Amino acid sequence: MAAKVLAIVLAGGEGKRLMPLTTDRAKPAVPFGGMYRMVDFVLSNLANAGFLKIVVLTQYKSHSLDRHITKTWRMSTLLGNYVTPVPAQQRRGPWWFAGSADAIYQSFNLINDEQPDYVIVFGADHIYRMDPRQMVDDHIASGAGVTVAGIRQPLSTADQFGVIEVGEDGRRIRAFREKPTDAVGLPDAPDQIYASMGNYVFTTRALCEAVERDAEDKTSKHDMGGSIIPMLVEKGEANVYDFKDNEVPGSTDRDRGYWRDVGTLDSFYDAHMDLINVHPVFNLYNFDWPIYTEQPPYPPAKFVHQWGERVGRAVGSMVSPGAVISGSLVENSVVSPKVKVHSWAHVDGAVLMEGVEIGRHAVIRRAILDKNVFVPEGAEIGVDLEKDRQRYTVSDNGIVVIGKGQRVEP
């Protein structure tokens, strides 16, 4: 008999560093790549791998996330499969989730209902492709209590990650430290470290025992990475899974092993730019391992006008259904559904979310415009950053970010 596996997706993050994109929604609900939401990437990885019993634990500003999951992620009830959002239920008392470990503790009923042999616990706000079957198989073969997915990063960047330090066998975790300045390199690559991807596979018994023990510790932060994994490391029950060993069907040498934590505005922007190269760093066009999302009945994108400089065109860009590029130039950008770019406008290096409208002669450079932003005729964004800082959010790297539904000043 195949092992019984339950997947738990942690989707309760506030995403404060992504403000204003998270003003009105949870971080996993933030649109990404034109047509998707962040949560679609982890759910697609699980679904493609055949793990079709999935619960998504939500908490902050979860309405749009709940609605997206409910409308989009429908499985065959005939086979007992499901993807369902589960809010904080306060089963243990009148309080919200105190951390990711507490979220699982308060949701033990989900595990008790399914009685799985193994539990996948993945985050909901990373952009990547992965075949979780290979990680589960590795975990089962190891006999460990938990297996933590690690991605190799330069030793010099250790202070930016949760770092997994391993023993001489390269598998058993001997330390799990948050942003250390004195990290030790890997046995087979002294100039590299394992950065935690926030993805775990647990033997059910090990998970439940650790979470129950953590719940009794009033000094704990009740965090999976900060509390539960170190506990199992101390008991000698934690292994690492090397992400470079994961083979995703249809992947290329260029995009194999891609993983991005889009926790800041700059990383969010950079991840979008990774999509639009001729040979993209992250390839959305891998039809052997598709990323699923809602597909509204929008018409194909349209490019209109061809008169002098009034030519509707997009170069080095992704343009979604329902968009109209009218007598304007779009370069190096990601254009979401129902976007309208009017004549003589110039958009370069931008992320335009659904329903954005760009007026005539407007100029948009290195910017993120959230849903339904209206840019009037002749307005400029990203041209004078000092002026933009007085009105909008500007990231450390100079990306101008305009929140949902705002009307740009002329």
Dump pLDDT digits (tens) for 96-132: 777 888 999 988 999 999 999 999 999 998 999 999 9
pLDDT score of 309? 85
At 79, is the pLDDT very low, low, confident or very high (cuts 50, 70, 90)? confident
The pLDDT of residue 239 is above 70 = yes
pLDDT tens across 36-50, in order? 999 999 999 999 999
At 253, is the pLDDT very low, low, confident or very high (cuts 50, 70, 90)? confident
User: Which of 18, 28, 101, 100 shows the shortest CA–CA distance to 61?
Assistant: 28
Cβ atoms of residues 202 and 145 within 8 Å: yes
Mean per-residue pLDDT, 265-280: 94
Tokens representing 39?
């949560």
Task: Tell me the C-alpha distance between 65 and 74, whole Å.
Answer: 14
At 91, is the pLDDT very low, low, confident or very high (cuts 50, 70, 90)? low
CB atoms within 10 A of CB 319: 23
Mean per-residue pLDDT, 315-337: 97
Count how many residues are written for the chain.
410
- CB-based contacts of 357-363 (< 8 A; 24+ apart in sequence): 358/328
Q: How far is CA 345 from CA 202, 254, 360, 361, 387, in A?
A: 52, 33, 5, 4, 20
The pLDDT of residue 58 is above 80 = yes
Cβ atoms of residues 196 and 176 within 8 Å: yes
Full DSSP string of 219-270: T----IIIIIHHHHHHTT-EEEEEGGG---TT--TTTTT-EEE--SHHHHHH
Kindly report the pTM of this predicted structure: 0.94
User: Domain 5-271 belongs to what topology?
Assistant: Spore Coat Polysaccharide Biosynthesis Protein SpsA; Chain A (3.90.550)
The pLDDT of residue 66 is above 80 = yes
Domains of the chain by residue range: 5-271, 296-402
From the annotation, which residues make up the binding site for alpha-D-glucose 1-phosphate?
162, 178-179, 196
The pLDDT of residue 80 is above 90 = no
Task: Tell me the C-alpha distance between 155 and 86, whole Å.
Answer: 38
- Partners of 32 in beta bridges: 36
User: Which of 43, 20, 108 shows the shortest CA–CA distance to 371?
Assistant: 20
- Which percentage of the chain shows pLDDT scores above 70? 98
End-to-end CA distance of the chain: 65
pLDDT score of 92? 67
User: Which of 403, 304, 314, 390 shows the shortest CA–CA distance to 353?
Assistant: 403
Mean per-residue pLDDT, 122-145: 96
Quick one: CA dihedral 257, 263, 264, 265, positive or negative?
A: positive
At 279, is the pLDDT very low, low, confident or very high (cuts 50, 70, 90)? confident
Cβ atoms of residues 7 and 120 within 8 Å: yes
The pLDDT of residue 1 is above 60 = no
Mean per-residue pLDDT, 19-42: 96
- Which percentage of the chain shows pLDDT scores above 90? 81
Mean per-residue pLDDT, 151-178: 93
From the annotation, which residues make up the binding site?
162, 178-179, 196
At 249, is the pLDDT very low, low, confident or very high (cuts 50, 70, 90)? very high
Helical pair 39-48 and 63-72, crossing angle rounded to 10 deg? 30
Superfamily (CATH) of domain 296-402: Hexapeptide repeat proteins (2.160.10.10)
Mean per-residue pLDDT, 380-406: 96
pLDDT tens across 187-201, in order? 999 999 999 999 999
The pLDDT of residue 14 is above 80 = no
